[in-house]
């Protein structure tokens, strides 16, 4: 019986250690997604022409957002395979280590005489990237004055890669999400309560095991010391 209970204690210690390891891993995972001001936020893009899609391609740092910094960049658009100019050309993006998805944006053959611009809005709080949205708009005329070659190159069917201006705008989200905060606190408290309960149960089992083993030992000694009366 003592051996059985000792094995149970070892199993409980193993479960407790596993839970603690999982808690530490989750904490490290959330920390690894944190950003510092000025960090490059990784970004990848995928193109679609006709029904053919490219694979995801990682974008180089100078084309990616910088955490907390508003800026504009020119993103090169390679010529798609089989391009004839008759069909729309779309782009999709994944942003951040969290891989926030920006769904398909129509950038070529969008039935507009204006040069397109990708307007990207990023939300953050502290060191966390909370979300990304984007849309294609007509490039403001003052941008065309700054980059006069964009219009000419964009409408030239022989000029590739074309370049699309992306404007990254950051907005800090300072308001407290009460519901999400409650669930996080409740989940953390429940996990810690469960771990503490296992520790308490494990300690009680150790004491109970010692008590049973001592009682069995005393009973055995008492039984051996009593003379048999005939």
pLDDT band for position 11 (cuts 50, 70, 90): low
Distance CA 35, CA 178 (A): 23
Least confident piece of the model among 23-32, 131-140, 151-160:
23-32
Largest separation between any pair of C-alpha atoms in the chain: 121
Q: What is the pLDDT of residue 27?
A: 45
- Work out the mean pLDDT of the chain and round it to a whole number: 81
pLDDT band for position 85 (cuts 50, 70, 90): confident
pLDDT band for position 123 (cuts 50, 70, 90): very high
Which tops the pLDDT comparison, 10 or 164? 164
pLDDT band for position 28 (cuts 50, 70, 90): very low
Question: In residues, how long is the chain?
Answer: 230
SS3 assignment, position 127: coil
Q: For a pLDDT cut of 90, what percent of the chain falls above it?
A: 50
Distance CA 124, CA 175 (A): 11
User: In the predicted model, is pLDDT for residue 175 greater than 70?
Assistant: no
- Look at the pTM and tell me if it is higher than 0.85: no
Q: Are 85 and 118 within 8 A, CB to CB? A: no
At 89-109, the pLDDT tens digits run 999 999 999 999 999 999 999
SS3 assignment, position 27: helix
Which tops the pLDDT comparison, 104 or 145? 104
pLDDT band for position 228 (cuts 50, 70, 90): very low
SS3 assignment, position 139: coil
Give exposure, 4-33, as e/b (b: 16+ Cβ within 10 Å): ebeeeeeebeeebeeeeeeeeeeeeeeeee
Q: What is the pLDDT of residue 178?
A: 52
Q: Are 115 and 153 within 8 A, CB to CB? A: no
At 33-44, the pLDDT tens digits run 799 999 999 999
At 42-69, the pLDDT tens digits run 999 999 998 899 999 999 999 999 999 9
Give the residue extent of every domain in the chain. Answer: 39-172, 176-209
- Which among 161, 157, 156, 154 is positioned nearest to 85, based on CA atoms? 157
User: How confident is the model over 201-229, as a mean pLDDT?
Assistant: 62
Instruction: Characterize the bridge pairing of strands 52-53 and 43-49.
Output: antiparallel
């Amino acid at each position: 019986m003592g051996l059985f209970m000792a094995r149970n204690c070892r199993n409980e210690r193993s479960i407790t250690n596993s839970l603690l390891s999982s808690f530490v891993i989750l904490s490290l995972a959330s920390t690894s997604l944190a950003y510092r001001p000025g960090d490059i936020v990784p970004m990848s893009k995928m193109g679609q022409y006709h029904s053919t899609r490219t694979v995801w391609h990682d974008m180089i740092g100078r084309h990616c957002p910088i955490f907390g910094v508003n800026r504009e960049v020119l993103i090169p658009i390679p010529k798609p395979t089989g391009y004839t100019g008759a069909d729309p050309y779309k782009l999709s993006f994944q942003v951040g280590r969290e891989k926030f998805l920006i769904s398909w944006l129509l950038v070529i053959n969008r039935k507009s005489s204006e040069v397109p611009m990708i307007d990207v809005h990023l939300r953050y709080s502290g060191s966390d990237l909370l979300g990304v949205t984007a849309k294609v708009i007509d490039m403001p005329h003052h941008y065309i004055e700054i980059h006069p070659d964009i219009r000419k190159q964009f409408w030239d069917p022989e000029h590739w890669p074309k370049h699309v201006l992306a404007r990254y705008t950051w907005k800090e989200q300072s308001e407290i999400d009460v519901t999400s905060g409650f669930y996080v606190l409740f989940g953390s408290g429940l996990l810690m309560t469960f771990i503490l309960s296992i520790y308490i149960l494990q300690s009680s089992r150790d004491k109970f095991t010692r008590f049973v083993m001592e009682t069995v030992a005393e009973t055995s000694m008492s039984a051996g010391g009593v003379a048999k009366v005939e």
